[in-house]
Copies of this chain bind each other. A is one copy, B any other.
């Protein structure tokens, strides 16, 4: 329904996003990787691991949120000018299905990029036997801090 093309303001945005993601220590702890970096569009993937789960063996909603927040934050960051810093202001998450599967994909897609605030939609999918299921959807506000 809504899809957009964005012009990056920083030509080195791919390198900038990847090096910032590499500095997120928590991503190594949970085993998440960034698998797509485009202007306004980021994908993060995570294999299932038993130690990331809540009491029923589903990946904890907070870990699904961790993936989605980084995907949304970096989707916003990819459009920010050189030297700017990125900050998550707030997000809302609806959990649509239990997070069970072999691996998980979080997509962050910018809806509107403003000078100070960027609004981003996140969606998380679970994959099992080559079938995908929509696990969670996020709506996030991300701030650009100019130095």
Contacts and interface: CB of A to CB of B under 8 A. Distances in A.
Interface of A: 1-3, 20-21, 23-26, 28-29, 50-56, 60-63, 65-70, 85, 87-97, 107, 109, 111-112, 116-117, 119, 121, 123, 134, 137, 139, 141, 143
Number of chain copies forming the complex: 4
A50 B66 contact: no
Contact of A66 (B63, B68, B90, B112): B63
Contact of A111 (B28, B54, B134): B134
A94 B66 contact: no
Contacts of A112: 96-97, 134
A85 to B, nearest CB: 8
